[in-house]
């Protein structure tokens, strides 16, 4: 049996050759929910994970990132689909700007936010 160094919560897929591979690019459906596993790769994602809310999902302890951290991470990534996600969070009133602003300032994302506001929120 081959061993891997990946955390046990990450999904694996077996290739035709028998090797295990972790696919982090696509969401995994847990129950009816698409879930994306994001390993912490920078200070922003490490902070997001450290401040995640601990909850219980069908008896499984689960960490959920704040909407504000998810918005900051999407802004940092900066793809069109990330901007669409940000807009969706804002349209749903799921983000507190009072909580978002310190995150943006702390990770040097305030200029990107100003540009996002100029392009997508100003009419």
**DSSP H or E stretch at residue 63:** strand 60-64
| Averaged pLDDT for residues 35-40 | 76
Higher pLDDT, 97 or 20: 97
Structure tokens at 45: 């994602």
Nearby residues of 60 by Cβ (< 8 Å), 6 or more positions away: none
d(CA 29, CA 114): 34
Distance of CA 2 to the CA centre of its chain: 30
100 within 8 A of 69, measured Cβ to Cβ: no
How big is the chain, counted in residues? Answer: 123
0.95 exceeded by pTM: no
Question: Sorting pLDDT into bands at 50, 70 and 90, what band is 123?
Answer: low
């Amino acid at each position: 049996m081959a061993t891997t160094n990946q955390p046990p919560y990450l999904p694996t897929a077996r290739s035709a050759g028998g090797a295990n591979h972790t696919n982090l690019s696509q969401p995994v459906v847990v129950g009816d929910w698409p879930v994306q596993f994001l390993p912490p790769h920078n200070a922003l994602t490490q902070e997001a994970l450290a401040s995640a809310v601990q909850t219980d999902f069908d008896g499984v302890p689960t960490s959920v990132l704040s909407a504000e951290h998810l918005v900051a991470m999407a802004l940092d990534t900066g793809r069109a689909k990330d901007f669409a996600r940000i807009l969706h969070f804002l349209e749903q009133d799921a983000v507190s700007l009072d909580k978002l602003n310190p995150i943006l300032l702390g990770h040097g994302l305030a200029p990107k936010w100003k540009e996002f506001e100029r392009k997508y929120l100003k009419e």
